[in-house]
Amino acid sequence: MFGLDDNYNRLEDTKLGANGNLNSIVVDQYINTIGVFSQYELKSRAVKTTIGLRYDSYFIKDLDENNFTGEKEDVYGNVLAPRINLLFDLSSTLQLRASYSKGYRAPKIFDEDLHIEASGARSVVHQNHPELKQETSHSFISSLRYSNIIRNTVIEFLIEGFYTRLVDPFAYEYFWNDSIKVLYQIRKNAEDGAYVAGMNLEFNVAFPKHLTLQFGYTWQRSEYDSPQYWGEDDTSVTNEFLRSPGQYGYLTLDWHPLNRFEASITSTYTGSMYVPHFGLDPITDEEWDNIDNGEWDNIEESRQSEIEAILNEDVIEGERLEKTERFLIFDIRIAYTQPISEKISMQLYGGVQNVFNQTQKNHDRGLYRDAGYIYGPCQPRTINLGLKFGNILSH
C-alpha cells in the first residue's frame, strides 16, 4: 500500500474591540503538511508482520506579532516515522502482539492555547516559545490476548504493557508582564526527556442470555526526567505530568432480554491526579498586624478586597499543586422500541447520568477565582427522558 496526502490548516482568532478600541489578533497561523506513506504486510502460518513508513514535511507560519518575545520565524520540519507490528498466533485461542512506532507533535499553536484563563483577576495567556521544537515519541507495546467460546459464552481477555519515550517533550515556563498585568504560560521543550509507562487490562464477555459485559482498567506512570516548573515560584516544580491520572477504567453492562427492550449501565473511573491551583499573594506579617489592630485603612483598598477573599476562603494564598479526588461515575439508560412501519420505529428512552452526583467540590469563588482550576466531571446528576423516531435497529 502506498499513499500521499497534503494537509492545510489555518487557525485565526481575533479579539473584537470594545469601548472604541481596535480589534486585536490573538493568533494567526497556518500549517501545511505533506506526507508520503507506505505499508507492507507479510503473512506466514503463525506470524503476521506489518511494516509501515511515513515521511512528513511540515511548514508553520505564525503571523502573531503580539507575542511578548516579538515576531516569530517560520518553522520547517521533516519527520521520518517508521512502525512495525508483529502478531503471533500461539494457539487457536491465544495471540501475542508486539509493536514499535514513532510519532511527533509539531511546534504549532493548539486549540487549547486560545482559552484565555483568569487567575487572581489577571489574564493567563498560553503561547509558544520562539525556539520551540517538535516533540518526538518512541512507543513500544506488547500484549497477550485470549479469546474463546465456552458453553455459548464468548470470552475475551487482554493484558497489555506499554512504554513511550518522549524526546524534547513539551513543558512550560511562566513569564509575568507587570505593565499589562498578564501571566504568560510559555510552552517550551524540557531539557531532559520524559516517559509514559503502564499496563492495561480488558475483559469482554457475551453471555447467551442477551447480556454483555465490557471492562477495562489502566495503570500508568507519566514523568519528566527532571523537575519542571508548573508555577511562578522557584519551588513550584514537579516531575509529574499534570492533569494525568495514574489509574482510570470503564465498565459497561448491556442487557437485551426482549427484542424491543434494552437496558444498560455504564461506569467510568478516574483516579487522582495533580492540578495546579493559583491564588492571590499571601497575607504579609505587616498586613496581619493591621488586621489584628483593626487598622484596615493602612491597607490599600484593592488589597483589602483580596485579603477578604482569602479570609472568606473564596481563594487560596500563593499557589499549590493539588492532588485531586477520585471519581466513579455511573450512568443508567432504559429504552423501548416500537415499530411503526417497515422502516420507521419509535423509541421511548430514559435514564440518569452521574447517578451519585460525583463532581468537584472545592471550586474557587468570586472575582479572584482561578478559572483554570477545574477538574472532574462537568455534568452533575441529570435525569433525561426522550422520544425518538427513525430507522432504529432492534436487538
- Read off the pLDDT of residues 355-379 as tens digits, 9 standing for 90 and up: 999 999 999 999 889 888 999 898 8
- Residues 68-76 have a mean pLDDT of 66
Give the residue, 144 or 113, on which the prediction is more confident.
Answer: 144
- 14, burial (CB in 10 Å: exposed 0-12, middle 13-18, buried 19+): exposed
Residue 152 backbone class (left: φ over 0; alpha: ψ -120 to 50; beta: rest):
left
Residue 122 has a pLDDT of 62
pLDDT for 72 equals 62
- State pTM to two decimals: 0.85
Report the largest interatomic distance among the alpha carbons of the chain, rounded to a whole angstrom.
87
Mean pLDDT computed over every residue of the chain: 88
Q: Which residues neighbour 223 within 8 Å (Cβ) at sequence distance 6 or greater?
A: 194, 195, 239, 240, 241
pLDDT at 149: 93
Query: Residue 116: pLDDT above 90?
Result: no
Q: To the nearest whole percent, how much of the chain has pLDDT over 70?
A: 89
Q: Is the pLDDT of residue 62 over 70?
A: yes
- What cell was used for 286? 505587616
So what's the pLDDT on residue 394? 52
Judged against a pLDDT cut of 70, whether residue 15 lies above it is answered with: no
**How much is the average pLDDT of 175-185?**
72
* Closest alpha carbon to 183 in 107, 258, 116, 104: 116
**Pairing of the two strands 122-128 and 182-189:** parallel
Res 64 pLDDT > 70: no
Within the chain, residue ranges assigned H as helices are 285-292, 301-311
- Residue 294, sorted as left (phi over 0), alpha (psi -120 to 50) or beta, turns out to be left
CA distance 119 to 116: 10
pLDDT band for position 88 (cuts 50, 70, 90)? very high
Q: pLDDT tens across 233-272, in order?
A: 889 999 999 999 999 999 999 998 877 899 999 999 999 9
Number of helical H runs and strand E runs in the chain = 2, 21
Write the pLDDT tens digit of every residue in 17-52: 655 566 556 677 889 999 999 999 999 888 999 999
How far is it, in rounded angstroms, from Cα 354 to Cα 332?
8
Distance CA 332, CA 91 (A): 39
Task: Report CA 335 to chain centroid distance, whole Å.
Answer: 31
pLDDT at 114: 66
| Mean per-residue pLDDT, 322-329 | 95
pLDDT for residue 19: 57
Given a cut of 60, whether residue 184 has pLDDT beyond it is yes
List C-alpha distances in Å: 218 to 159, 252, 268: 10, 15, 12
Identify the three-state secondary structure at position 308: helix
